[in-house]
Structure 1
Amino acid sequence: MPRAVRERQMLDAAVEVFARRGYRAASMDEIAEVAGASKPLVYLYLNSKEELFSACIRREAEALILAVREGVDPGAPADRRLWNGLRGFFAHTAAHPDGWAVLHCQARTHGEPFALEVAALRQELVDVVTQLIVATAAENGCDAPLPWQEASGLAHALVGAAESLAGWTNGRTDVAPAERDTAETLMNFAWAGLDNLMNGRRWAPARP
């Protein structure tokens, strides 16, 4: 079997076991068994449990970023690009719940270097969404240019909401909502706020 195919099988097995057991409880014996490979072969290809976990994080992160970027049609209006990006995110996390569990739950709870790798993924998502928010404001005739810092803050909030919704959806024991419905829920929430900003309707606390 070609090495690339065998490594993919090992990573698939590792993602499944890490998602189910957690990083500490997962064993290389079980990963090898699920992959249909010998334990020495897993070590030969992927060196150690820590390096295997890092490889899983990188692969799942790259796949998620690709799904979001591919969903964003550069020729579409800004609101459609944001909508399609959200749909790409929720479709991918729904289709790959084990990968999402590794990224969102397991990697964040074990400190460096795993948490740093997930933080880099999150920042890349935030950068994509920030650009979409700035473009949305510009294309829809925002009364004043939206400062990059404010757009970045909104992007952090939107990405955090998307992560929370994906975790909520994948963790449900009843019938989970379709990815389109989840994306529409968040799009409606975000778009109402962006529409107010673009038309100069900013919320402010009442003065005493």
Structure 2
Amino acid sequence: MTASQDTDERPRTGKTSTGRLPRSARRNQLLGAAEEVFVAQGYHAAAMDDIAERAGVSKPVLYQHFPGKLELYLALLDKHCEALVEAIRGALEATTDNKLRVQATTEAYFAYVAAESGAFRLVFESDLTNEAAVRERVEAVTRATATLVSKVIAEDTDLPEEEAMLLAVGVCGLCQITARFWLAQGGTIPKDEAVRLVSSLSWRGLKGFPMHGGDGVTH
């Protein structure tokens, strides 16, 4: 690759500022533009022309960074799957109080879904799940988030790992589906109240399981 390709050409149209960008900055710019187009149009309706125009670059510049539309979509999917996993990890590590962990985990899902970008749709509402690479990533993020939750359940209860994992999938699924439903209804219930309701439902179920050497998951 030549030195000129590392900085790309000046943007020609769109919202971007003029001037050359380092390759990493250009890549982030292109991902941002692609995210807007994919979220608004879905994978199948989106075109590389649309993404290049949104980014304010020529198609050759776009293809310097991503050889095709699928590779661009997968890069975005990886980014937002990782963001969700890290949000759940952070929620669980923020406290040792299990009730607060449930609340923080629920809040993490609601915040993820409520983000202005709407990028959660790439993960939870993709129109490309018939593509193996997409399906594998969606399934992987489901497993990864549930595994984080299941480890906490298994550590604090007498449940075997398989049962802890089943409960964790249920907790994560409840958070994800209710957050999406809440958003689809226009957020008529304030987010904090929605989080409180859903986390209360999860906690009332989880706290009934016996702790190691105790009567229930009470802390």
- TM-score w.r.t. structure 2 length? 0.80
Counterparts in 2 of 1:8-157, with a 5 A limit?
Answer: 8-73=28-93, 75-106=95-126, 109-137=129-157, 145-157=158-170
RMSD across aligned C-alpha pairs, in angstroms? Answer: 1.9
Answer yes or no: is the 8 Å Cα contact 2:113–2:120 preserved in 1: yes
Structure 1 10/124 Cα, relative in aligned 2: closer, same or farther at 3 Å?
same
Q: How many residues align?
A: 192
Does the Cα contact within 8 Å between 2:109 and 2:176 map onto a contact in 1? no
Q: Distance in 1 between matches of 2:84 and 2:194?
A: 17
Gaps of 5+ in 1: 138-144, 201-208
Unaligned runs of 5+ in 2: 1-20
Aligned counterparts of 1:181 and 1:131: Cα–Cα separation in 2: 27
Deviation at residue 85 of structure 1 after TM alignment: 2.3
* Counterparts of 1:177 and 1:44, CA distance in 2: 45
The TM-score, its normalising length taken from structure 1, stands at 0.83
Aligned residue identity for 2:195: A
Distance, in Å, in 2 between the alignment partners of 1:107 and 1:66 is: 24
CA offset at residue 96 of structure 1? Answer: 4.6
Is residue 186 from structure 1 mapped to residue 186 from structure 2 by the alignment?
Answer: no
1:158 paired residue among 163, 171, 174 = 171
Percent identity, aligned pairs only?
29
Correspondence for 1:168 among 181, 195, 198: 181
Q: CA deviation at 1:70?
A: 2.0
Provide the rounded CA distance (Å) in 2 between the counterparts of 1:62 and 1:43.
24
- Residues 97 and 170 of structure 1 are in contact (CA less than 8 Å); yes or no, is this contact kept in structure 2? no
Mapped to 2, the partners of 1:65 and 1:176 lie a distance apart of 27
Specify which structure has the higher proportion of helix: 1
Displacement after TM superposition at 1:124 (Å): 0.3
Partner of 1:197: helix, strand, or coil?
Answer: coil
Deviations 1:111-153 (CA, angstroms, capped at 9, x unpaired): 311011111111000101111222343xxxxxxx122211111
C-alpha deviation, 1:82, in angstroms: 2.7
